[in-house]
Amino acid sequence: MSNQQEANKENKLWGGRFKGTTDPLMNLYNSSISYDSKMFKEDLEGTRIYTQGLQKLNLITVQELEAIDTGLTAIEKEWVEGTFKIVENDEDIHTANERRLGEIIGKEISGKVHTGRSRNDQVATDMRLYCFNNLNQKIIPFLKDLIQAIIERAENEIDVLMPGYTHLQRAQPIRWSHWLSSYATYFSEDLERLQQLTQRLNKSPLGAGALAGHPYGIDREFLAQGLNFNDVIGNSLVAVSDRDFVVEIMFWSSLFMNHISRFAEDLIIYSTAEFGFVQLADAYSTGSSLMPQKKNPDSLELLRGKSGRIFGNMAGFMMSLKGIPSTYNKDMQEDKEPLFDSLLSVEHSILIATGVISTLAIKPENMFKALTMDMLATDLADYLVKKGVPFRETHHISGECVALAETLKLSGIDQLSMEQFKKIDDRFTEDVFEIFDFEQSVEHRSAIGGTAKKAVLAQLAKLQANL
């Protein structure tokens, strides 16, 4: 037997069946260690609990279990300290850890850790653990920090008024805090969806074997409890092949980044010289290599751009998944790179968005100057509604007032005289001029979800309570 054939037999978990050598390019094409090594901790913990299950079946002794535990602890230390050495035939994290365990405690003992286990249920377990830990230790806390930063800013700047827009046209006056609250609401709903997702994710595939279940009757509930799963996947075929949780995380990431993208787009527009509502901190801006006056919102543009990349991750993996026959197939190895990229991109995006919203400066005077009296046309219609005129009629009357002011080239409908108002509709009286007040306009909208100060503060209080 050649040295290469010996390496196939000794180092590959599947090498015993094969006599010939593997194409070196195939080794590279097949390998996932370059990216799945980030699951080293979850892989070691899965082996630690799994071998406890084997010991309960008397398939390994207490002394062997202690040796395995010592070896796993040593391997984790090497990974953490960056001293773990990946060798040529370490095609994935499972192979690498088991190979190293044999070097530390001897192959006679390490060779027992895979009893009744397959890399099919092993990788499914590792991925679920990794995703659950990542979401709960990073994404969820960081997302809460973003929401908290928005809430605090909204509370502190509750008195600032600005135009609200539809179709990017000035529509009605709102509070800056109301705009902030809208995105805090989107992100809070994202948080709720993510928390629901983690519960569906938190189910154990361990002990399902390659596809048909465990030949020695291992206690799968014991394994699940040891790894802090809240349930066991009840069908072994599903346990090894289900990647719905990967798709769901990618879908969640795509939807969240859609919200981040819209948030970024608004701030990009508000930061232009034409608007001048906000100014980004230097820490989240860049300059031009040619034009020294430029201050570019690159942080926001990257947030907007990465949303497309993350959606592409989801769409690409869905295409890989859609035609796979039942149980495990190697196509499923394509889940990790887009998943890990999405998780890392979302993590960084949340941190950047939090930094942007925490440090940007607002220009309340520019926001207020952008308010124009024609934005109170609806208030003019509401004025007549309160006098008993049907809204459809008041809408038409208000429109006539706007048209007349434009024809006369007046600065706003508030510049019409009492006589001109009466000419359009004799139900106008002197108190009509009292409606031309932006603060009064936002305060009139006091129903739940409105722009009145008490309504906005109530929104913020509810968002805070949800955290």
Just list the catalytic residues: 167, 288
Q: Which of 367, 456, 426 is nearest to 155 (CA)?
A: 456
For the chain, the straight-line distance linking the first and the last C-alpha, in angstroms and rounded, comes to: 63
- What's 267-322 look like in SS3? HHHHHCCCCCCEECCHHHCECCCCCCCCCECHHHHHHHHHHHHHHHHHHHHHHHHC
- Length of the chain in terms of residues written: 467
Q: Which two tokens stand for residue 120?
A: 């099919």
Q: Name residue, tokens 């092949």.
A: 241
Question: CB pairs under 8 A, 24+ apart, for 377-386?
Answer: 377/401, 377/402, 377/413, 378/172, 379/435, 379/441, 379/444, 380/413, 380/432, 380/435, 382/435, 382/444, 383/432, 383/435, 384/425, 384/427, 384/428
Q: How many CB atoms lie within 10 A of CB 453?
A: 17
Please give the single-letter amino acid code of residue 439.
Answer: E
Q: The tokens of 94 are what? A: 């499972």
CA atoms within 13 A on the CB side of 365: 0
Which three-class secondary structure state does DSSP give residue 174? strand
Our measurement of the distance from residue 350's CA atom to the centroid of its chain's CA atoms, rounded to an integer in Å, reads: 8
> Using CA atoms, how far apart are residues 463 and 446, in angstroms rounded to an integer?
18
Structure tokens at 409: 């080239």
Torsion of the alpha carbons at 299, 301, 305 and 307, rounded to the nearest 10? 70
Q: Phi, psi (5° rounding) for residue 165?
A: -125, 145
